[in-house]
């Protein structure tokens, strides 16, 4: 892309002290921490692919498409010109380009197309690079990734949908599945009266024929208050059948090639994530096929939820990384009070603190990715993947909005202006913390994992033990965590405290074992020290700021 050369001399003043355009970013080659973490956690076999993707995805052109897709929001087209129901959503061409970019590069299906070591780690790496540029498209990509395990048990559904979910062809045509080259999938669980509490769902399902249960056809009636990516080819949902709350696949088209009776009511006017459509829908005698066992709907759909939760952690880590890159660029090229901002001691403190948070977020996310990769053959890894996903979803997503705000503030006024990418990142940041299980719900899920899986706590403690002796503050924090876990009273009341301690000790342990001393020491001295308030830029004196910032600087 040829950069636009601006006119620097205006009639009234010369433009000075303004940063140059950031230009193309190399999201893989320029990110030493990402490369290190991916290789360490077993994702090295696809290094060449990641290198190519990182260059393509970080190009200015992609950031421009992301900007366009968010400025020109999706528009609902429920009817055609003759008054016929078509339930369409029209997107800007940039949105389709980004969808094609994601699907052609296996963002939603790398893990399933490349099983074994590095599968989920690689998926997280692709997600991390893509999410730095655009979050809205990642919603259908995350759901398309996450749905695969939920379909596995229902062979008829799996046979039809799986090959198309694993396809690298973006096929946006609104036509029946059997005519499509590739598909995307969404989910709608949330109803008006309950999102976290899905047992309060009121949608009903009645069998079409005499046969009932897994793989059989039903008609669903009810409403869903949130349905993101409503142009997806099908959705998983929950509805009450005679045997209890069950999971159903609801396609846009019925198997006999008719448009399904799925009625888009309106699109949500959202704080952020604006390139992605999120809708309200009604189901009236809508065709659906039962997935999984009757009455075990939550058990079936939870596999999809778990994948989406993992995505949330990876994408929040990505927001931190891109926020840091933008803040670094601005402060490197802007001076105030006779010094470049980046040379001001207090700004160095903020930047270094943002860098260690970002590295800790990525290290934890990719470690959980490896546990997912090893889960099939290793009980400890399976337990760590289960509890660790909830811990990472809670903590990484919880830390992202503050991180993004601080990166925005590094820009001063221009950070608040839409021309910069920062307002978009800022609006995106709270979302991962809300959907797929809001903060409290995630912490309660950590307790659930602790109680239901014997190996859950031992898997966390084993991870921590591997770093014991490496840092006194970490050792003390591990003791604190053990004491919190040993005390059985008021556990629900303390669920955030317990989850936070698990998250920061796991992050500390990973950094102590694998990161340079400068990063690990600063993390432990702040996050695991006595006076940490959570605000950025309060690292103690003695921290090696140069080493931390150099490591995080794109090279
Ligand atoms: C942009 C966007 C897109 C979305 N897309 C989809 C989609 O595609 N499909 C879909 O199904 N849903 C979607 N959702 C819905 C989302 O998953 C829910 O909003 C979320 O799970 C929370 O449910 P709720 O809104 O009913 O809040 P509630 O369940 O009412 O929760 C409100 C608050 O109470 C807390 N809380 C709940 N239970 C407890 C408890 N026992 N103890 C303490 N605190 C508790 C929660 O953590 C939360 O902070 C979307 C939401 C947004 C914002």
How do residues 358-376 score in pLDDT, each as one tens digit? 999 999 999 999 999 999 9
pLDDT at residue 1, rounded to an integer: 59
CB of residue 196 inside a 6 A radius of ligand 1: yes
Q: How far away, in angstroms, is 190 Cα from ligand 1 center?
A: 7
Q: Does the C-beta of 190 come closer than 6 Å to ligand 1? A: yes
Residues 344 and 322: their CA atoms lie apart, in Å, by 22
Locate CATH 1.20.140.10 in the chain: 305-555
228 CB near ligand 1 (under 6 Å):
yes
| Rounded CA separation 247/298 (Å) | 7
Mean pLDDT for 102-117 is 98
pLDDT tens digits for range 376-428: 999 999 999 999 999 999 999 999 999 999 999 999 999 999 999 999 999 99
Q: DSSP 3-state assignment of 191?
A: strand
Three-state secondary-structure class, residue 275: coil
The model's confidence at residue 2, banded by pLDDT at 50, 70 and 90, is low
Separation of 248 CA from ligand 1 center, angstroms? 20
Q: Tokens 């046979």 map to which residue?
A: 159
Give 203's Cβ-side CA count (13 Å radius): 34
Beta-sheet pairing, 185-188 with 234-241: parallel
Return d(Cα 128, Cα 267) in angstroms, integer.
Answer: 27
**Which ligand 1 atom is at minimum distance from the Cα of 276?**
1
- Measured over the CA atoms of residue 549, residue 350, residue 130 and residue 109, the dihedral's sign is positive
Confidence of residue 5 (pLDDT cuts 50, 70, 90): confident
Q: Which of 548, 492, 553, 468 is closest to 516 using CA atoms?
A: 548
In the chain, % of residues over pLDDT 70: 99
Give me the pLDDT at residue 135, please: 98
Share of residues in the chain with pLDDT > 90 (%): 97
Structure tokens, 306 = 């778990």
In contact, 231 and 90? CB cutoff 8 Å: no
Instruction: Give yes or no for residue 512 having a pLDDT over 90.
Output: yes
DSSP string, 313-371: HHHHHHHHHHHHHHHHHHHHH-EETTEEGGGSHHHHHHHHHHHHHHHHHHHHHHHHHHH
pTM: 0.98
What residues does CATH 2.40.110.20 cover in the chain?
A: 184-299
Q: 253: which DSSP letter? A: B
- pLDDT at residue 207 in the model: 98
Whole-angstrom distance, CA of residue 106 vs CA of residue 373: 17
pLDDT-derived band at 6 (thresholds 50, 70, 90) equals confident
Which atom number of ligand 1 is nearest to the Cα of residue 190? 11
Average pLDDT over residues 275-285: 98
Which class would CATH give 184-299?
mainly beta
Say how many CA atoms lie within 13 Å of 202 toward its Cβ: 10
Contacts of 526 (CB under 8 A, 6+ apart): 353, 356, 532, 538, 539, 540
Determine the atom of ligand 1 nearest the C-alpha atom of 237. 11
Query: Which residue's alpha carbon is nearest to atom 29 within ligand 1?
Result: 196
Q: 24 φ, ψ to 5°?
A: -65, 140
* Mean pLDDT of the 279-285 span: 98
Whether the per-residue pLDDT at 530 is higher than 90: the answer is: no
In angstroms, the CA 459 to CA 374 distance is: 13
Closest CA to 323 of 138, 132, 139: 132
Long-range contacts of 417-421 (CB under 8 A, 24+ apart): 420/326, 421/63, 421/67, 421/322, 421/326
89 C-beta neighbours (distance < 10 Å), count: 19
Q: What value does the mean pLDDT of the chain take?
A: 97
Q: 305-555, superfamily in CATH?
A: Butyryl-CoA Dehydrogenase, subunit A, domain 3 (1.20.140.10)
DSSP 118-158: THHHHHHHHHHHHHHH-STTHHHHHHHHHHHHHHTT-HHHH
Rounded Cα–Cα distance for residues 134 and 118 (Å): 24
Residue 151 has pLDDT above 80, yes or no: yes
User: Closest Cα to atom 26, ligand 1: which residue?
Assistant: 195
Parallel, antiparallel, or unpaired: how do β-strands 234-241 and 244-251 relate?
A: antiparallel
Kindly give the number of the ligand 1 atom that is closest to the alpha carbon of 492: 42
Count other Cβ atoms within 10 Å, centred on residue 483.
10
How much is the pLDDT for 520?
Answer: 98
Taking CB atoms within 8 Å and a gap of at least 24, the contacts of 34-40 are 34/125, 34/128, 34/129, 34/321, 34/362, 36/514, 37/362, 37/363, 37/366, 37/514, 38/118, 38/121, 38/122, 38/125, 38/366, 40/366, 40/514
322: number of Cβ within 10 Å: 26
56 pLDDT above the threshold of 90:
yes
Torsion, Cα 554 120 508 465, to 10 degrees, reads -150
């Amino acid at each position: 892309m040829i950069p636009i050369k601006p006119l620097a001399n205006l009639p009234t003043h010369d433009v000075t002290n303004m940063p140059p355009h950031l230009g193309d970013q190399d999201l893989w080659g320029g990110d030493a921490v990402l490369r290190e973490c991916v290789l360490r956690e077993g994702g090295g076999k696809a290094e060449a692919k990641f290198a190519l993707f990182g260059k393509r995805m970080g190009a200015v052109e992609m950031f421009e498409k992301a900007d366009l897709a968010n400025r020109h929001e999706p528009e609902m087209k429920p009817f055609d010109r003759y008054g016929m129901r078509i339930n369409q959503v029209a997107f800007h061409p940039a949105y389709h380009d980004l969808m094609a970019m994601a699907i052609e590069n296996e963002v939603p299906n790398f893990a399933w197309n490349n099983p074994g070591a590095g599968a989920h780690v690689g998926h997280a790496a692709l997600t991390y690079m893509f999410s730095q540029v655009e979050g809205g498209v990642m919603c259908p990509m995350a759901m398309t990734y996450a749905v695969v395990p939920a379909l596995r048990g229902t062979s008829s559904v799996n046979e039809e949908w799986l090959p198309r979910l694993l396809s690298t062809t973006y096929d946006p045509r609104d036509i029946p599945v059997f005519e499509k080259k590739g598909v995307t999938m969404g989910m709608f669980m949330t109803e008006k009266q309950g999102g976290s509490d899905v047992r309060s769902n009121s949608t009903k399902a009645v069998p079409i024929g005499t046969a009932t249960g897994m793989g059989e056809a039903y008609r669903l009636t009810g409403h869903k208050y949130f349905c993101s990516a409503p142009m997806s080819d099908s959705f998983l949902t929950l509805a009450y059948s005679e045997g209890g709350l069950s999971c159903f696949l609801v396609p846009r088209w019925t198997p006999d090639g008719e448009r399904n009776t799925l009625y888009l009511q309106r699109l949500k006017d959202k704080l952020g994530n604006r390139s992605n459509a999120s809708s309200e829908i009604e189901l009236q005698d809508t065709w659906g096929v039962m997935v999984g066992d009757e009455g075990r709907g939550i058990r079936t759909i939870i596999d999809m939820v778990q994948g989406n939760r993992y995505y949330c952690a990876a994408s929040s880590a990505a927001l931190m990384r891109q926020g840091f890159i933008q803040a670094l660029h601005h402060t490197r090229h802007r001076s105030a009070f006779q010094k470049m901002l980046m040379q001001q001691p207090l700004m160095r403190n903020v930047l270094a603190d943002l860098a260690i948070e970002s590295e800790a977020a990525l290290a934890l996310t990719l470690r959980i990715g490896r546990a997912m990769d090893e889960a099939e053959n290793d009980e400890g890894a399976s337990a760590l993947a289960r509890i660790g996903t909830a811990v990472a979803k809670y903590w990484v997503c919880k830390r992202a909005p503050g991180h993004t705000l601080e990166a925005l503030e590094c820009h001063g006024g221009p950070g608040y202006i839409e021309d910069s990418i920062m307002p978009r990142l800022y609006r995106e940041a709270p979302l991962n913390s809300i959907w797929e299980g809001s903060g409290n719900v995630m912490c309660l899920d950590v307790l659930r994992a602790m109680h239901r899986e014997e190996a859950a706590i031992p898997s966390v403690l084993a991870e921590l033990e591997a770093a014991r002796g490496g840092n006194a503050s970490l050792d003390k924090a591990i003791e604190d965590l053990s004491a919190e876990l040993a005390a059985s009273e008021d556990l629900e009341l303390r669920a955030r405290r317990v989850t936070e301690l698990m998250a920061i000790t796991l992050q500390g342990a990973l950094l102590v074992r694998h990161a340079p001393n400068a990063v690990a020491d600063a993390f432990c001295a702040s996050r695991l020290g006595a006076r940490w308030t959570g605000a950025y830029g309060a690292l103690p004196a003695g921290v090696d700021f140069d080493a931390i910032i150099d490591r995080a600087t794109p090279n």
